[in-house]
Structure 1
Amino acid sequence: MRNAIIRCLFYGSLTFGIWTALLFIYLHHNHVSNWQKKSHEPLSAWSPGKKVHQQIIYGSDQIPKPHVIVKRTDEDKAESTLGMDFNHTNPELHKELLKYGFNVIISRSLGIEREVPDTRNKMCLQKHYPARLPTASIVICFHNEEFHALFRTVSSVMNLTPHYFLEEIILVDDMSEVDDLKEKLDYHLETFRGKIKIIRNKKREGLIRARLIGASHASGDVLVFLDSHCEVNRVWLEPLLHAIAKDPKMVVCPLIDVIDDRTLEYKPSPVVRGAFDWNLQFKWDNVFSYEMDGPEGPTKPIIWMCGGQLFIIPCSRVGHISKKQTRKTSAIISATIHNYLRLVHVWLDEYKEQFFLRKPGLKYVTYGNIRERVQLRKRLGCKSFQWYLDNVFPELEASVNSS
Structure 2
Amino acid sequence: MRNVIIQCLLCASLTFGIWIAVFNIYLHYNHVKKQEKIQEKGNPLIWSLGEKLQSKPDSVHLPRAYNVRVERASEDEPAEPKLLLSSGENFNYSIPEVIHGYSTYGFNSIISKNLGHYRNVPDTRNVMCQKKMYPAKLPTASIIICFHNEEFNALFRTLSSIMTLTQQYILEEIILVDDMSDFDDLKEKLDYHLEIFRGKIKLIRNKKREGLIRARMTGASHASGDVLVFLDSHCEVNKVWLEPLLNAIAKDPKMVVCPLIDVIDYMTLEYQPSPIVRGAFNWRLEFKWDHVLSYEIEGPEGPTTPIRSPAMAGGIFAINRHYFNEIGQYDKGMNLWGGENLELSLRIWMCGGQLYVIPCSRVGHINRQHVTNRFEIMKVVEYNNLRLVHTWLDEYKGQFFLRRPALKSAAYGNISERVELRKRLGCKSFQWYLDTIFPELEASKAIS
TM-score range, shorter chain: 0.7 to 0.9
Task: Using the TM superposition, give the Cα deviation of residue 81 of structure 1 relative to its aligned residue in structure 2, in angstroms.
Answer: 9.8
Task: Using the TM superposition, give the Cα deviation of residue 88 of structure 1 relative to its aligned residue in structure 2, in angstroms.
Answer: 6.2
* Residue among 221, 227, 235 paired with 1:230: 235
In structure 1, what is the equivalent of residue 143 of structure 2?
A: 138
Alignment of 1:7-156 (within 5 A): 84-85=28-29, 89-92=93-96, 93-156=98-161
In structure 1, what is the equivalent of residue 174 of structure 2?
A: 169
* Residue among 281, 288, 295 paired with 1:290: 295
* Residue among 364, 375, 385 paired with 2:420: 375
* Pairing 1:350–2:395 present: yes
Native 8 Å contact 2:277 2:291 kept in 1: yes
Task: Using the TM superposition, give the Cα deviation of residue 109 of structure 1 relative to its aligned residue in structure 2, in angstroms.
Answer: 0.7
In 1, distance between residues paired with 2:389 and 2:199?
Answer: 43
* Pairing 1:319–2:263 present: no
Native 8 Å contact 1:99 1:326 kept in 2: no
Per-residue CA deviations over 1:39-68 (Å, capped at 9, x if unaligned) read xxxxxxxxxxxxxxxxxxxxxxxxxxxxxx
Calculate the TM-score normalised by the size of structure 1.
0.78
Letter matched to residue 247 of structure 1: D
Task: Using the TM superposition, give the Cα deviation of residue 208 of structure 1 relative to its aligned residue in structure 2, in angstroms.
Answer: 1.0
Q: Which runs of 5+ in 1 are unaligned?
A: 1-79
Q: Could you tell me the percent identity over the aligned residues?
A: 71
Per-residue CA deviations over 1:382-403 (Å, capped at 9, x if unaligned) read 1111111111111111211111
Native 8 Å contact 1:121 1:299 kept in 2: yes
Calculate the TM-score normalised by the size of structure 2.
0.70
Moved more, 392-401 or 322-331: 322-331
Task: Using the TM superposition, give the Cα deviation of residue 174 of structure 1 relative to its aligned residue in structure 2, in angstroms.
Answer: 0.2
Task: Using the TM superposition, give the Cα deviation of residue 190 of structure 1 relative to its aligned residue in structure 2, in angstroms.
Answer: 1.0
Native 8 Å contact 2:244 2:358 kept in 1: yes
Per-residue CA deviations over 1:236-278 (Å, capped at 9, x if unaligned) read 0000010111111111111100000111000000000011111
In structure 2, what is the equivalent of residue 280 of structure 1?
A: 285
* Pairing 1:396–2:423 present: no
Native 8 Å contact 1:140 1:225 kept in 2: yes
* Residue among 300, 303, 328 paired with 2:305: 300
Native 8 Å contact 1:141 1:228 kept in 2: yes
Task: Using the TM superposition, give the Cα deviation of residue 85 of structure 1 relative to its aligned residue in structure 2, in angstroms.
Answer: 4.6
* Pairing 1:363–2:408 present: yes
In structure 2, what is the equivalent of residue 67 of structure 1?
A: none
Q: Tell me, what secondary structure is at the counterpart of 2:93?
A: coil
In structure 2, what is the equivalent of residue 205 of structure 1?
A: 210
Native 8 Å contact 2:105 2:370 kept in 1: no
In 2, distance between residues paired with 1:83 and 1:286?
Answer: 30
Against the structure 1 CA distance between its residues 81 and 380, is the aligned structure 2 distance closer, same or farther, given a 3 Å change threshold? farther
Q: Tell me, what secondary structure is at the counterpart of 2:267?
A: coil
| Residue-pair matches, total | 324
In structure 2, what is the equivalent of residue 251 of structure 1?
A: 256
| Relative contact order, higher structure (CA 8 A, sep 6+) | 2
Against the structure 1 CA distance between its residues 120 and 88, is the aligned structure 2 distance closer, same or farther, given a 3 Å change threshold? farther
Per-residue CA deviations over 1:153-189 (Å, capped at 9, x if unaligned) read 0000000000001011110000000111011111111
Letter matched to residue 124 of structure 2: T
* Residue among 173, 184, 189 paired with 2:194: 189
Against the structure 1 CA distance between its residues 131 and 82, is the aligned structure 2 distance closer, same or farther, given a 3 Å change threshold? farther
Task: Using the TM superposition, give the Cα deviation of residue 326 of structure 1 relative to its aligned residue in structure 2, in angstroms.
Answer: 2.0
In 2, distance between residues paired with 1:99 and 1:310?
Answer: 34
Native 8 Å contact 2:102 2:370 kept in 1: no
- CA RMSD between the two structures: 1.7
Native 8 Å contact 1:88 1:94 kept in 2: no
Q: Which runs of 5+ in 2 are unaligned?
A: 1-23, 31-90, 310-349
Letter matched to residue 385 of structure 2: Y
* Pairing 1:328–2:272 present: no
Letter matched to residue 156 of structure 1: S
* Pairing 1:157–2:162 present: yes
Native 8 Å contact 1:82 1:106 kept in 2: no
Larger radius of gyration: 1
